[in-house]
């Protein structure tokens, strides 16, 4: 799997990234089937498999339960990985809580660095609550920019919920996390603009949280992946599987499409 630079960040990323929600959270999730959070041995084996397949990007967040802590404990060779984390959302007692203040943003980054056992984060995205414009007008983005200047973060962006928010993100930050799948292409104008400006694009919900699987009534994972990469702006697709065979199959198809 060939690496591709994430926009203008200078960060080379694999076109397939491993989402780690299932490493730390099994409440209030939207997958078609229940799952069991894997034990440490299973996580270590999955991370090793990911590296063998050429995957170098891991997507995590404070809102993903104890995903960050587990990665900090179980990852080896930090320099081999591109870690994407987030600010703005926490998950406490089964509920999401949002805080986009400067203080909360800085505290979140300090906590993430400690939990992940690292002195820098490659990419940090603001985890929007859906009100993108209100989020943008608060202090999270400016604080992340300051932390980037301080050397704690390499690239900054937003995980958006609206086309308008996505366009602002492309115009003003390094990376946008946008939605693209066979049932939702409302962010295509965001991807078009990102292509024009050579900004990094990370795709979420490309497999519709597993609902693209034909067994879940979708059109099939292969078709879903092909659709995501049919847009040339896409830098990386996040797939949050904990199934080794699914990871292999996804990686093989992505490699065929992008190499």
What is the rounded average pLDDT of the residues 27-36?
A: 86
pTM equals 0.96
Residues in CB range of 107: below 8 A, 6 or more apart:
none
Tell me, letter by letter, the H, E, C secondary structure of the chain. Answer: CCCEECCCCCCEECCEEEECHHHCCCCCCCCCCCCCCCCHHHHHHHHHHHHHCCCCEEECCCCCCCHHHHHHHHCCCHHHCEEEEEECEEEECCEEEECCCHHHHHHHHHHHHHHCCCCCEEEEEEECCCCHHHHHHCCHHHHHHHHHHCCCEEEEEEECCCHHHHHHHHHHCCEEEEECECCECCCHHHHHHHHHHCCEEEEECCCHHHCCCHHHCCCCHHHHHHHHCCCCCCCEEEECCCCHHHHHHHHHHHHHHHC
Q: What is the pLDDT of residue 4?
A: 94
pLDDT digit string (tens) for 118-171?
A: 999 999 999 999 999 999 999 999 999 999 999 999 999 999 999 999 999 999
Mean pLDDT of 235-245: 96
Q: Which of 25-29, 191-195, 204-208 has the lowest mean pLDDT?
A: 25-29
At 212, the pLDDT band (50, 70, 90 cuts) reads confident
Q: What is the mean pLDDT of residues 229-245?
A: 97
* Fold that domain 4-258 belongs to in CATH: TIM Barrel (3.20.20)
Average pLDDT of span 183-203 = 97
Q: What is the mean pLDDT of residues 109-118?
A: 98
pLDDT score at 20: 98
Sequence ranges of the domains in the chain:
4-258
What is residue 218's predicted lDDT score, i.e. its pLDDT? 83
Note the pLDDT of residue 203.
98
Residue 259 predicted with pLDDT over 90: no
pLDDT score recorded for residue 101: 98
Is the pLDDT confidence value at 219 over 90?
A: no
At 32 the pLDDT is: 81
Whether the predicted pLDDT of 94 surpasses 90: no
- pLDDT, the chain, mean: 96
8 A C-beta contact, residue 132 and residue 162: yes
Tell me how crowded residue 26 is: count the other CB atoms within 10 A of its CB.
13
Separation CA 193–CA 158 (nearest Å):
15
């Amino acid at each position: 799997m060939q690496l591709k630079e994430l926009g203008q960040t200078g960060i080379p990323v694999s076109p397939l990234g491993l989402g780690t929600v299932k490493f730390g959270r099994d409440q209030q999730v939207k997958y078609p089937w229940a799952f069991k959070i894997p034990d440490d041995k299973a996580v270590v084996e999955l991370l090793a498999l990911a590296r063998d397949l050429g995957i170098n990007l891991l997507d995590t967040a404070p809102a993903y339960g104890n995903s960050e802590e587990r990665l900090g404990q179980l990852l080896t060779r930090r320099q081999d990985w591109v870690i994407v984390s987030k600010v703005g959302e926490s998950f406490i007692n089964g509920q999401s809580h949002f805080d986009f203040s400067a203080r909360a943003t800085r505290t979140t980054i300090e906590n993430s660095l400690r939990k992940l056992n690292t002195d820098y984060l490659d990419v940090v995205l603001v985890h929007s609550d859906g009100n993108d414009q209100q989020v943008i007008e608060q202090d999270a983005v400016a604080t992340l920019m300051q932390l980037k200047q301080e050397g704690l973060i390499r690239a900054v962006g937003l995980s958006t919920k609206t086309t308008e928010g996505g366009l602002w993100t492309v115009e003003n930050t390094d990376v946008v996390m946008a939605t693209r799948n066979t049932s939702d292409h409302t962010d295509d104008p965001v991807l078009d603009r990102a292509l024009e400006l050579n900004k990094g694009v990370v795709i979420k919900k490309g497999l519709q949280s597993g609902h693209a699987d034909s067994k879940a009534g979708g059109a099939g994972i292969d078709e879903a992946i092909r659709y995501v990469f049919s847009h040339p702006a896409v830098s990386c697709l996040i797939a949050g599987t904990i199934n080794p065979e699914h990871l292999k199959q996804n990686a093989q198809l992505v490699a065929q499409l992008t190499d």
